[in-house]
């Protein structure tokens, strides 16, 4: 099973992001757009694991305490940058989220999972490329949205999700809730 740890985003913010996706869609034939229902903030991607390792994840994350976090969703950008854009994202601002992601990673490493090899960077993926890069037309169309406010919310929980790969895009299923 393919799994990850994530924070959900309220539907009103996801709808605002969907409107931006709809506005930008004509600017790219290379983009594979993320379904509105699938937009989330990934704290840790674990990838393929045997079903029996779910219990190890639960043991590692149960009892994790963290204060609820105020999260602002603002602006759009590209990974790794505008010169070779591969991912279109919406920005996430939350000073304490990196600490939570590090704590989740540390606990899962202690449970025998691989450590995260990249620095945590909170974001909401809106589109990925099917090609080697997204078009410059998409970068130019997104430029006026660099500072757009999509809303704020308080996160007081995160989830273990299963990701099932399908031709039309991944299907995410909540497996477990962890209250902060």
Catalytic residue from among 14, 44, 107, 123: 123
**Euclidean distance between CA atoms 169 and 31, whole angstroms:** 12
- 86 as an active site residue: the answer is no
Catalytic residue from among 14, 40, 44, 107: 40
- 40 as an active site residue: the answer is yes
**Euclidean distance between CA atoms 62 and 17, whole angstroms:** 32
**Euclidean distance between CA atoms 71 and 3, whole angstroms:** 23
Cβ atoms of residues 54 and 175 within 8 Å: yes
| Tokens standing for residue 105 | 């990673």
Q: Three-state SS for 77?
A: strand
DSSP 148: -
Residue 56, class by beta-carbon neighbours within 10 Å (0-12 exposed, 13-18 middle, 19+ buried)?
middle
Tokens 């594979």 belong to which residue?
A: 32
Q: Where are the alpha helices (DSSP H) in 94-179?
A: 97-110, 136-142
Q: Which of the residues are catalytic?
A: 40, 123
């Amino acid at each position: 099973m393919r799994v990850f740890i994530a924070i959900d985003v309220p539907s009103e913010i996801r709808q605002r992001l969907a409107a931006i996706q709809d506005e930008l869609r004509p600017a790219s034939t290379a983009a594979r757009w993320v379904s509105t229902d699938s937009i989330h903030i990934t704290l840790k991607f674990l990838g393929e694991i045997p079903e029996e390792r779910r219990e190890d994840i639960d043991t590692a994350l149960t009892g994790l305490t963290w204060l609820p976090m105020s999260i602002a969703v603002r602006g759009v950008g590209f990974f790794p940058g505008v010169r070779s854009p591969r991912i279109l994202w919406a920005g996430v601002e939350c000073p304490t989220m990196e600490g939570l992601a590090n704590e989740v990673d540390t606990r899962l490493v202690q449970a025998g999972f691989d450590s995260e090899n990249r620095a945590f960077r909170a974001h909401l993926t809106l589109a990925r490329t099917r090609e080697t890069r997204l078009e410059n037309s998409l970068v130019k169309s997104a430029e006026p949205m660099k500072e757009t406010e999509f809303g704020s919310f308080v996160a007081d929980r995160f989830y273990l999700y299963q990701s099932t790969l399908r031709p039309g895009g991944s299907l995410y299923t909540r497996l477990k809730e962890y209250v902060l």
